[in-house]
């Protein structure tokens, strides 16, 4: 069984969060943590995701926050 709590797997989840706009609306320059948590919980209940602990969700949210900040600073421009 594939492990979901590796940095690589959590990174994929973070990009899924961004692609599906689960991080919106942005609140005070940060991701919408409540919306992300709700969507992760739905994924776990539906069987699309394996159970995640608080540290896993924090990792995903922190990565999304870092990407939001990098984008705001123009660090992700081509």
User: 13-72, pLDDT tens digit by residue?
Assistant: 999 999 999 999 998 989 999 999 999 999 999 999 999 999 999 999 999 999 999 988
CB 72 within 8 A of CB 23: no
Residue ranges making up the domain that contains 39: 28-71
Please tell me the pTM assigned to this model.
0.88
Mean pLDDT, residues 1-22:
86
Give a yes or no: residue 59 inside a domain: yes
CB 67 within 8 A of CB 74: no
CB 23 within 8 A of CB 69: no
Give a yes or no: residue 5 inside a domain: no
When divided into structural domains, the chain yields a total of 1
CB 43 within 8 A of CB 35: no
Q: Enter the DSSP assignment of 15.
A: H
Predicted confidence (pLDDT) at residue 4 exceeds the cutoff of 90: no
Give a yes or no: residue 38 inside a domain: yes
């Amino acid at each position: 069984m594939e492990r979901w709590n590796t940095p690589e797997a959590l990174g994929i989840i973070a990009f899924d969060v961004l692609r599906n706009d689960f991080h919106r609306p942005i609140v005070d320059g940060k991701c919408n943590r409540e919306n992300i948590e709700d969507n992760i919980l739905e994924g776990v209940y539906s069987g699309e995701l394996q159970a995640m602990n608080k540290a896993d969700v924090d990792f995903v949210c922190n990565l999304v926050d870092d990407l939001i900040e990098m984008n705001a600073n123009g660090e992700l421009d081509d």
